[in-house]
Structure 1
Amino acid sequence: MSKKETFKTKNTSPGHMEYSLLYHIVIPFALSALVVILVTIIAEKYGTKTGGVIGTLPSTIIIAFLFIAVDKGVQFATDAVVIVPAEMGINLVFLLLFALLSPKNIPIALVGSLLGWTALTVLLYASSISSIVVSLSVFIFCFLLTLFILDKKKKITSQNSIQVHYTPLKLLGRSIIAGTVIAIAVTLSNVGTTLSGIFSVFPAIFLSTMIICMREHGARFTGAMAKGMIYGSPSVVSYAVGIYFLYPLIGIALGTIGSFLIGLIVTVILLRLRKKIR
């Protein structure tokens, strides 16, 4: 049997199916549910600036690219991660649109922000960006633009802690919303280099967090949370850039650890500077 045939047989085995289920459903669902619960609780207890920064710590992108690299190889993962900074920039536009539309209602905010995300993502996919520098430039432009609009034009101010009575049912509802959205996103994150990069940073954490904030706290808190997550977004981008340079140099395991440390350092810096944001 040829190597290619062996690979095909391996991919259809029960063991591979269990591995695929674990990767595509179980781990993303559990991790994202935990992240969103923690993010919303931190925002409610310590304010939207702190919650936004903590909420953008590298989380699902770690799982996505770890398994992409293991399944497809380091070169595939490195090629896929090039698009991530630019796509994160589009995710910030998603947050901006949701915040601007949130005074209407959840369906309008959800549909409007997702339509904007889809249109910009299609344009990004068609552009075939192959340079990490160009991708970073797109992110920086979107970061400055969205933060400027929410902070200076709309004058959205950060929200302090609010009183919330937590129940098992409330936390279960948050986890189901987050887990379902992200499990679908990760399932689509292993299809082609560019699409893998795009879906690895699909705004699932952002989307589920916005819906939860809107349902439970209203438009004002949602807008403040959106601004906080925009402010914290450089941590995810720094992780992606770390992968781009470290995976080929030191391998998947050490590259993942090194990239996470880079993202963690950026997060600490953002936390220390957060008082400069209104």
Structure 2
Amino acid sequence: MIEFLFFIKLIVAIGLVIGLSLLAENVSPKVAGILSGYPTGSAITLFFFGLEVTPEYAAESAVYNMIGLSAALTFVYVYYIASKYIKTYTIPLSAVSAILGYFLVVWVLHHIQVNTYLAILIPIAFSFLYIYLFRNIQNITILTKAKLSYKTLFVRAFFAALIIIVITSVPKFVGPTWAGLFSAFPTTLFPLMLIIHISYSTEHVHTVIKNVPIGMFSLIIYSLTISIVYPLYGIYWGTLMSYGAATAYLLIYTKIKKTIEKQKGLPLRK
């Protein structure tokens, strides 16, 4: 059973990271940034919390996952600031700075007495804050794609596989509070950012970062739904219902965005 779960986590991680990186290259980093906020890494983590522990444990962790999304948003903001101003060893120093920023916010959040309402309001406030702070970042597309090879695909998969396996092992050692906070770690977004930054440029990874807060609302909706439906319907139906709610948000957002741009006479952007 343990070996089977390991295999599933590895395959899912590979598929998610490769899929998002190919989306960034063939569609746009903007779309990849929005979809990186779609329930991927956190969804996997919460699902395995429910599978390996209990649905109730996963539901409680989902509440802390929501508030932990504030730390995930801070992660991308710190990466953005560091990569903007650090000129030597930019990628490793930006990554380390972002990780430290994430754990600092998680440590602060751990001392807050959380309820469901607060867990909803805090990440929503952070999302709007970072949408505002990222407003001047330009959306740019990838014109010349990097040549893919088996080695490149393996490296892309390795980051996500390693991170997801580590994070989903957390509930064996800590309670649902810390497990929920750590489950918000950007397990898919982080390797995606590294891949885009290494393969292309700082401006391309900034395009991904700019659009993360927009997609993060779908993850807030997902975690909130998980906290309600897992104890009632179990992890399988609960996951399906939660993905339905998160997908509905993205479809509504896309529809509203296209309507606004059409009314303003703007060209529809990818």
TM-score, length of structure 1 as denominator length: 0.85
Residue 122 of structure 1 corresponds to which residue in structure 2?
107
Residue 112 of structure 1 corresponds to which residue in structure 2?
97
The verdict on how the C-alpha distance between 1:90 and 1:273 changes in structure 2, with shifts beyond 3 A counting, is farther
The verdict on how the C-alpha distance between 1:274 and 1:27 changes in structure 2, with shifts beyond 3 A counting, is farther
Coordinate RMSD, CA, aligned: 2.0
Larger radius of gyration: 1
Letter in 1 for 2:138: T
Residue 185 of structure 1 corresponds to which residue in structure 2?
167
Q: Are 2:214 and 1:231 equivalent residues in the alignment?
A: yes
How far apart, CA to CA, are the structure 2 residues paired with 1:263 and 1:124?
A: 24
Letter in 2 for 1:245: I
Residue 48 of structure 1 corresponds to which residue in structure 2?
29
Q: Are 2:141 and 1:156 equivalent residues in the alignment?
A: no
Q: Are 2:84 and 1:100 equivalent residues in the alignment?
A: no
How far apart, CA to CA, are the structure 2 residues paired with 1:187 and 1:56?
A: 22
SS of the residue 2:200 aligns to: helix
How far apart, CA to CA, are the structure 2 residues paired with 1:173 and 1:68?
A: 27
TM-score, length of structure 2 as denominator length: 0.87
Question: Would you say the 8 A contact 2:45–2:164 is kept in 1?
Answer: no
Q: Using the TM superposition, give the Cα deviation of residue 185 of structure 1 relative to its aligned residue in structure 2, in angstroms.
A: 1.6
Q: Using the TM superposition, give the Cα deviation of residue 222 of structure 1 relative to its aligned residue in structure 2, in angstroms.
A: 0.9
Residue 7 of structure 1 corresponds to which residue in structure 2?
none
Residue 223 of structure 2 corresponds to which residue in structure 1?
240
Residue 195 of structure 1 corresponds to which residue in structure 2?
178
Q: Using the TM superposition, give the Cα deviation of residue 163 of structure 1 relative to its aligned residue in structure 2, in angstroms.
A: 2.2
1:71 maps to which of 49, 52, 55: 52
Q: Aligned ranges for residues 266-277 of structure 1 at < 5 Å?
A: 266-273=249-256
Count of residues in correspondence between the two structures: 255
2:232 maps to which of 249, 258, 275: 249
The verdict on how the C-alpha distance between 1:98 and 1:273 changes in structure 2, with shifts beyond 3 A counting, is farther
Residue 128 of structure 2 corresponds to which residue in structure 1?
144
- Following TM superposition, the consecutive aligned residue runs of length 4 or more in structure 1 with deviations greater than 6 angstroms are none
Question: Would you say the 8 A contact 1:95–1:230 is kept in 2?
Answer: no
- Structure 1, residues 158-215: CA drift from partner, whole Å, max 9, x if none? 1224321222222121111221222212222443111221222212212111111111
SS of the residue 2:134 aligns to: helix
Residue 89 of structure 1 corresponds to which residue in structure 2?
70
Q: Using the TM superposition, give the Cα deviation of residue 274 of structure 1 relative to its aligned residue in structure 2, in angstroms.
A: 5.2
How far apart, CA to CA, are the structure 2 residues paired with 1:42 and 1:273?
A: 22
Which ranges of structure 2 fall in alignment gaps of 5 or more residues? 262-268
The verdict on how the C-alpha distance between 1:235 and 1:26 changes in structure 2, with shifts beyond 3 A counting, is same
Residue 200 of structure 2 corresponds to which residue in structure 1?
217
Question: Would you say the 8 A contact 1:85–1:139 is kept in 2?
Answer: yes
Question: Would you say the 8 A contact 1:214–1:222 is kept in 2?
Answer: yes
Question: Would you say the 8 A contact 1:102–1:222 is kept in 2?
Answer: no
Letter in 1 for 2:13: S
Which ranges of structure 1 fall in alignment gaps of 5 or more residues? 1-18
Question: Would you say the 8 A contact 2:79–2:97 is kept in 1?
Answer: yes
Q: Are 2:17 and 1:36 equivalent residues in the alignment?
A: yes
Q: Using the TM superposition, give the Cα deviation of residue 106 of structure 1 relative to its aligned residue in structure 2, in angstroms.
A: 0.9
SS of the residue 1:97 aligns to: helix
Letter in 2 for 1:143: S
